[in-house]
Amino acid sequence: MDRKLVIIKNEDAVIRVFDAYMIINSDKEEVIFSYIHIKELYLHQKINIMPYKLIKLSNFFKVFLIDHHGNILAHIEPVS
């Protein structure tokens, strides 16, 4: 199985985190991602998401915060 990079550049996107998948809603579409299909997640720095959800996601794959140019600002480390 080929795992993918997921890049969310829309700062108005809404991310709902569940045990095995997440749902990303934007003004144009709704997408469901299973964690086993994600290699790395890149999120716009202004996306409204709680820090504990970022840490939860980092237990499944690498999570990064990016600016509007796509530059990496932070890497979220998993908590062991």
Question: Where are the domains positioned within the chain?
Answer: 4-76
Q: What is the pLDDT of residue 79?
A: 84
Q: What is the pLDDT of residue 7?
A: 95
Q: What is the pLDDT of residue 23?
A: 97
Which residues lie below 8 Å from residue 52, measured CB to CB, with a gap of 6+? Answer: none
For residues 44 and 11, the answer to whether their CB atoms sit within 8 Å is yes
Residue with structure tokens 């999570």? 63
Q: Mean pLDDT across the chain, nearest whole number? A: 94
* Residue ranges with strand state E in the chain: 4-8, 14-17, 21-25, 30-34, 38-44, 62-66, 72-76
Q: Which residue has the higher pLDDT, 41 or 28?
A: 41
CATH fold of 4-76, please? Answer: Ribosomal Protein L15; Chain: K; domain 2 (3.100.10)
Threshold 0.85, pTM exceeds: yes
For residues 76 and 41, the answer to whether their CB atoms sit within 8 Å is no
Q: What is the pLDDT of residues 15-39, one digit of tens each?
A: 999 999 999 999 889 999 999 999 9
Q: What is the pLDDT of residue 28?
A: 87
